[in-house]
Amino acid sequence: MTTSPKDSTGSNPDVARKLKPNMKIVALDTAVSDFDDLKWEILSSLGEFSAFPRTTNLSIDERAKDAQALIVNKVVLNREIISRLPALRYIGVCATGYNNVDIAAAQERGIAVTNVPGYSTASVAQLVFAFILEHYSRVSEHSEAVISGSWSNCPDFSFQTTPIRELAGKTIAVVGWGAIGQAVGRIAEAFEMKVVATSVPGRTYQTCDICRVPFVEALASADIVTLHCPLTDRTKELINSESLGFMKKSALLINTGRGPLINEQALADALNSGQLAAAALDVLCQEPPGRDNPLLSAANVCITPHIGWATREARERLRQAVYNNLADYLAGKQTNRVDS
């Protein structure tokens, strides 16, 4: 038995031609995932493909009106918009979260909806430790001091601008023991840290080989608290003035999950008052943030522009998974369906 070779994009042209070559496929917001030379032409083997870097509510009807398949990242497809797209049969979300799509409205129309779970696990875990190592080793601060001439003017072979510390023996509390939380835990163990896992208040604990402790106890014991739980009604503003009060004043809070897990004003107040030592955030409640966001002027905060998912390797996995999801749908398979 022979198989058709894959082309340079990773797609299988022979399989694609047997599917629905006349399907109109439109990607509505590729700007972020297209960074550097990664493009979405892989989807052209599945039908008539067009892509737009960004799409507003004003332009969505014109761009999507005849599409049988839409590929979206953050573009909102609510009930009203879906109702105006009679040809639509498939929505492929280029992310793990799919709250930008009205699943109930899609179900009523028989529209398939897929997502891409797990593609960014290693990428996000890496950013968590980039934050941790920057906070504990102060690499950029010491490099800047050297470049500015401080070492050249120093009488000693070594100097410090601020104390640096070891991770070995420190306690890290992982809030949410899913794939990313577990990846963070494995890295932490390699640094000889003590890992405690916790669920949100009221959630049932699942058995695992890591120390599981109640939420408040985890906050109180941790040198580092890192958030990896989904955003739900239960977890919205999980970190607030009350929960911040349980944390050590020397602790580092990390959020690479969802911005609304944190009450931003409460966190800013805690940082500015010295109630909390530092915070490192890759997500905010509003993205991009308004200039009046209190965290932009808070003390001892490091903020990155939602890049945890965006390593090149993770984006390559994402692109291939989006292709696979649509190809499998056309072949009658149920890969990564979230509408049923």
Q: Which residue, among 91, 73, 82, has the nearest Cα to 29 in the 3D structure?
A: 73
> Catalytic residue among 109, 142, 212, 306, which?
306
Distance, in Å, from the CA atom of 32 to the CA atom of 315, rounded to the nearest integer, reads 10
Could you tell me which residues come within 8 angstroms of residue 321 by beta carbon, excluding any fewer than 6 positions away? Answer: 116, 119, 336
Catalytic status, residue 142:
no
Region of residue 246 (left: phi > 0; alpha: psi -120 to 50; beta: else): alpha
Catalytic residue among 80, 287, 313, 316: 287
The tokens of 213 are what? 């402790």
For residue 271, count other CB atoms closer than 10 A to its CB: 21
- Is residue 327 within 8 A of residue 334, CB to CB? The reply is no
Residue 126 near residue 103 (C-beta atoms within 8 A) = no
Query: What pairs with residue 174 in β-bridges?
Result: 197, 226
What is the strand order of the sheet 301-303 is part of? Answer: 211-212, 194-198, 171-175, 224-227, 252-255, 278-281, 301-303
Q: CB of 163 within 8 A of CB of 142?
A: no
* Cα angle value 194/199/244 (rounded, 5°): 80
Residue 77 CB contacts under 8 Å (≥ 6 apart), including other chains: 70, 91, 100, 101, 102, 106
How far apart CA 188 and CA 182 sit, in angstroms, is: 10
Tell me the CA distances in angstroms from 264 to 2, 68, 139, 236, 259, one per residue in order: 57, 40, 27, 11, 8
List the catalytic residue out of 63, 89, 138, 258: 258
Active centre residues (catalytic): 258, 287, 306
